[in-house]
Amino acid sequence: MQMEVYNIFKVNFKREWIQMKRYLPNTISELIIFYIVFLGFFLGISLIGDPENLDYNIQMIIMNYIFWYLVLSLTQGIGLEISDEAGRGTLEQLTITPYKLWFIFITRMTSVIIISMISISILLFLAMLTTRQNLNLDLLSIIPILLITLIGVLGVGYLISSITIIIKESGYLIQIFQFVIMGMTFIPLTTAPFLKFAPFMYGLQLIREITINNFSILSLNINDIVFLLLNSLIYFITGIYVFNRAEKFAKQKGLLGHY
């Protein structure tokens, strides 16, 4: 079983890697566009922001923007994959394999996360270089928090893609959702404490504490880690459940073969 899981992951990782190389100009242009948009945020906060808190505000923008880029890649990813498979006429074929559709896509999204780290690292380096800000990149503290947070992000991705699996073309909904995510990531929990129950927001807050306030995972309260884990698991399990129900409905209505 472990070898089968490895082989599925290997095939999907190779697929994503080939696509990235094949469409490298698109990847580079997307990175440039995101960097230009970041420059707009940076110049805006530099011109009208509070000079006394300027460094802190710029560091917050860097973290919020990088995190938004990552969350956007995952939440959109599953839905776009379903649309692409439906457009090629291969979506129905995936559902008749021995593996659940949600499992196939989670291996793809794991591949996307690994490959996206290249773009994210470049974007983070450019942001720090441009703003002359040094963040506390304690990977031993950041990676565990990030991985737990991404479990919940994947759950949100499945919730969104459950719409796509029925109506196939849901690009407009995904575009609207990307601005919702942006709005959420730029709101500090001190301003809206209730957002700690939203997906990925508490993980982002803990990563801010590490990168901006020089915390480490050992200095975080164990209750914070437990809350983050439960929050992420609830969203992930909910997302998988809704996705499976949507897949079952699509099969019953014969929608998987239509685009």
Give the pLDDT score at 169.
Answer: 60
Please report, for residues 69, 81, 242, the alpha-carbon distance to residue 113 in angstroms, rounded to integers and kept in the order given. 11, 14, 23
What is the rounded average pLDDT of the residues 211-232?
90
Residue 37 included in any domain? yes
User: What average pLDDT does the structure give for the chain?
Assistant: 81
User: Where does the pLDDT of residue 88 fall: very low under 50, low under 70, confident under 90, or very high at 90 and above?
Assistant: confident
pLDDT at 50 over 70: no
pLDDT at 258 over 60: no
Which range is least confidently modeled, 48-52, 101-105, 194-198? Answer: 48-52
Residue 71 included in any domain? yes
Cβ–Cβ under 8 Å, residues 121 and 135: no
What percent of the chain shows pLDDT beyond 90?
13
Whole-angstrom Cα distance, residue 137 to residue 217?
Answer: 12
DSSP secondary structure string, 86-119? HHHT-HHHHHTSSS-HHHHHHHHHHHHHHHHHHH
Find tokens 């805006």 and name the residue: 44
Side chain identity, residue 60: M
More confident residue, 27 or 148: 148
156-204 pLDDT, tens digit each: 888 888 887 777 666 666 677 777 887 788 887 878 888 889 888 899 8
pLDDT at 1 over 60: no
What is the rounded average pLDDT of the residues 17-32?
80
204 is written with which tokens?
A: 């982002």
Phi, psi of 219 (to 5 degrees): -90, -5
Number of domains making up the chain: 1
Residue 108 included in any domain? yes
What is the rounded average pLDDT of the residues 83-96?
72
107-166 pLDDT, tens digit each: 888 888 888 888 888 888 888 888 888 888 888 888 999 999 999 999 988 888 888 777
pLDDT at 71 over 80: yes
Around Cβ 8, how many Cβ atoms within 10 Å? Answer: 17
pLDDT at 70 over 70: yes
Residue 68 included in any domain? yes
Residue 209 included in any domain? yes
CA dihedral 80, 14, 126, 70 (to 10 degrees): 40
Residue 126 included in any domain? yes
pTM summary value? 0.85
111 is written with which tokens?
A: 């591949």
Residue 259 included in any domain? no
Residue 156 included in any domain? yes
**Domain membership of residue 67 as a residue range:** 2-252
pLDDT at 237 over 80: yes
